Homo-oligomer: A and B are copies of this chain.
């Protein structure tokens, strides 16, 4: 019987799903989902609700952050930009980068946590085997924990956990399978909502992980390149 509650930022993608599976080992789950005007908003919300049902939690907070599409500058939220295709070994920040998105998400998680006296926040950020977004690097989360310590009431003791930050996509999938995470319910594609495109950064990194494990991804793709 678990008696502690944690908040998980759950986009509905593979990484956040496996993070929820890890959190679920020790905690009851309260799940936060953000709609920020991204192209695949509806499909991600469906994945979020499906995963919440899988974990039988009704503690859900769904937040609409329309301003991300108003300020633009990301191919995820600006319909005039095209979602770039995956470039192997590129050190550029892809145009899917949404400015400072994780700080917005963590701030909401922390406000919610402080309000319900919850001390643990999980986020499925990945740095090593990822797109190189600045707000995914480990130091960013360490310093954010310091901001939380200073900016909340004394004794609130809220802490962010990033359990998969140094895992490769392959390791994340392995961990998900080991914990019986509902990977078949997740949605990762940045571009399409019906069948995953197979070509955007997010699809490519995911497909490569499955290919490295020599396992078939349970979701459908329009195109399946060989990434290894």
Contacts and interface: CB of A to CB of B under 8 A. Distances in A.
Interface residues of A, number: 43
List the number of copies, as a whole number.
2
A110 interface: yes
**Which of A66, A110, A111, A148 has the most C-beta atoms of chain B within 10 angstroms of its own C-beta?**
A111
A152 interface: yes
A108 interface: yes
Interface stretch (A10-18, A48-56, A96-104, A183-191): A96-104
A216 interface: no
A152 B99 contact: yes
Interface of A: 61, 63-64, 66-68, 70-73, 93, 97-104, 106-108, 110-112, 114-116, 134-135, 137, 139-140, 143-144, 146-148, 150-154
